């Protein structure tokens, strides 16, 4: 019998932690391996979250380290290899070397289902391995399948095959309606998202069983797994509020850096926090998060400053030394407070909503 591994990457962020808790609570019999890729530059809160999760899950989280034989932290090891060239959104060697490559080495050639914590209120795909032995599943979304699976399932040449499979399912009154959608061809005015949404609106479970039957005719890892796949019957769609609730209710807790801290600017109160996990110097963080780092973890900010040399800076248009000039800090805080006011008028509950306006951009391997 072929063994299919089920793995879940813990980034140190809220969503992957909540996913681990959610799957354990709902499907305690699923044998999931947990892993976390350590860059050596995470915040202490991330390591604390991993410890709390291990207690809750009753299992160890495998820590993957790139360049494991190096005497330096993985990040420093590769920075040297790249000649001091700091990573950026256009040259993200850090994700490749510190996250993706250790993960692909960990998995090897085994067949793997990888669970990814992208939420139902996000419009992004996240990391999809191009390796055929790794299949991503998104349990928080109504549509748990990756784009490539949906694309293949809904290809026009699959229509006959899917209609045949439809006959094998007992769908009762829904059958005719599902058939009327399945039979429609995709064209310029009717894309796969339209068709998938129509099918899911008629029945999430029914659509999942059809996709599963289709998968059984392919080489995808799930097709090789003989065990029953319980997520086929899952109709949940979890959003940000659910994630915070899961973390709080489990006792694992929300990482401390998400908790807002008040400050005063121009006679008004405002508050800031950090919005993401990942390296403390991550170039994806917003200016206000750099100010947060400077004021709340000065020693880490100073370490981040040390990396800025030979003309390399973490941000394109400003060095960390420039950012901490008192007038510049005031300006960043004032700009941010205005943003916060605008978000408050939209009745946003979480500070992280404001900080994460650009959540879709960035490193899915580091921040989910
Ligand atoms: S957190 Fe940021 S700096 Fe660290 S590996 Fe991810 S993208 Fe790179």
Q: CB neighbours (10 Å) of residue 259?
A: 14
- Do the Cβ atoms of 261 and 33 come closer than 8 Å? no
Give 276-322 pLDDT, tens digit per residue. 889 999 999 999 999 999 999 999 999 999 999 988 999 999 999 99
To test ligand 1's pocket by mutation, which of 40, 282, 314 has the most ligand atoms within 8 angstroms of CB? 282
Residue 242, pLDDT above cutoff 90: yes
Q: Which pLDDT does position 365 carry in this prediction?
A: 65
- Could you tell me the distance, in angstroms and rounded to a whole number, from the CA of residue 282 to the centre of ligand 1? 5
The burial of 121, by beta-carbon neighbours within 10 Å (0-12 exposed, 13-18 middle, 19 or more buried), is given as middle
Tell me which of 345 and 204 has the higher pLDDT: 204
* Residue with CA at minimum distance from ligand 1 atom 6: 366
* Residue with CA at minimum distance from ligand 1 atom 1: 278
- Could you tell me the distance, in angstroms and rounded to a whole number, from the CA of residue 222 to the centre of ligand 1? 30
Q: Which pLDDT does position 39 carry in this prediction?
A: 92
Which pairing describes strands 134-137 and 111-115: parallel, antiparallel, or unpaired? Answer: parallel
The pLDDT of 264-270, averaged and rounded, is 92
The DSSP result for 321-349, as a single string, is: HHHTSHHHHHHHHHHHHHHHHHHHHTT--
Six token digits for residue 287: 């200016």
Banded pLDDT at 21 (limits 50, 70, 90): very high
- Could you tell me the distance, in angstroms and rounded to a whole number, from the CA of residue 102 to the centre of ligand 1? 14
Tell me which of 232 and 132 has the higher pLDDT: 232
Going along the chain from its start, the domains and CATH numbers come out as 4-145+225-250 (3.40.50.620), 151-215 (no CATH), 257-367 (no CATH)
3-state secondary structure of 6: strand
- For tokens 């989280």, the residue is 61
- Could you tell me the distance, in angstroms and rounded to a whole number, from the CA of residue 90 to the centre of ligand 1? 12
CA neighbor of 195 nearest in space, from 167, 161, 141, 153: 153
The DSSP result for 111-168, as a single string, is: EEEEE----TT---------STTEEEE-TTSSS-S-HHHHHHHT-GGGHHHHHHHHHH
- For tokens 């354990």, the residue is 24
Residue 112, pLDDT above cutoff 90: yes
Residue 28, pLDDT above cutoff 80: yes
Q: What percent of the chain has pLDDT over 70?
A: 92
Residue 354, pLDDT above cutoff 80: no
CA neighbor of 286 nearest in space, from 361, 212, 205, 215: 361
Q: Which pLDDT does position 55 carry in this prediction?
A: 97
Q: Which pLDDT does position 360 carry in this prediction?
A: 45
- For tokens 């400053």, the residue is 305
Determine the Cα–Cα distance for residues 281 and 301; give it in Å rounded to an integer: 8
């Amino acid at each position: 019998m072929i063994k299919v591994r089920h793995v879940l990457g813990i980034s140190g962020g809220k969503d992957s932690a909540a996913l681990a808790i959610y799957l354990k609570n709902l499907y305690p019999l699923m044998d999931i391996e947990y892993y976390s890729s350590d860059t050596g530059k995470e915040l202490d809160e991330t390591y604390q979250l991993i410890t709390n999760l291990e207690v809750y899950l009753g299992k160890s989280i495998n820590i993957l380290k790139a360049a494991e034989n190096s005497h330096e932290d993985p990040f420093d090891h590769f920075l040297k290899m790249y000649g001091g060239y700091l990573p950026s959104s256009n040259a993200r060697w850090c994700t490749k070397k510190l996250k993706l490559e250790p993960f692909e080495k960990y998995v090897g050639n085994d067949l793997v289902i990888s669970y990814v914590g992208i939420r139902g209120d996000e419009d992004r795909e996240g990391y999809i391995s191009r390796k055929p032995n790794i299949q991503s599943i998104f349990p928080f979304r109504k549509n748990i399948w990756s784009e490539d699976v949906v694309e293949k399932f809904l290809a026009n040449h699959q229509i006959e095959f899917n209609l045949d499979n439809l006959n094998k399912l007992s769908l009762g009154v829904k059958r005719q309606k599902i058939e009327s959608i399945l039979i429609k061809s995709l064209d310029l005015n009717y894309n796969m998202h339209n068709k998938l949404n129509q099918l899911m609106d008629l029945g999430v479970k029914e659509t999942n069983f059809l996709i599963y039957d289709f998968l059984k005719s392919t080489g995808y890892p799930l097709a090789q797994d003989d065990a029953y796949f319980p997520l086929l019957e899952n109709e949940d769609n979890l959003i940000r509020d659910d994630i915070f609730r899961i973390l709080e209710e489990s006792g694992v807790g929300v990482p401390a850096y998400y908790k807002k801290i008040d400050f005063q600017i121009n006679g008004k109160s405002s508050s800031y926090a950090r919005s993401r996990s990942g390296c403390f110097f991550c170039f994806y963080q917003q200016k206000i998060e750099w100010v947060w780092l400077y004021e709340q973890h000065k020693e880490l900010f100073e370490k981040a400053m040390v990396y800025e040399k030979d003309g390399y800076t973490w941000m394109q248009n400003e060095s960390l030394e420039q950012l901490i000039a008192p007038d510049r800090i005031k300006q960043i805080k004032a700009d941010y407070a205005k943003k916060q006011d605008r978000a408050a008028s939209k009745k946003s509950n979480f500070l992280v909503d404001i900080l994460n306006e650009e959540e879709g951009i960035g490193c899915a391997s580091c921040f989910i």
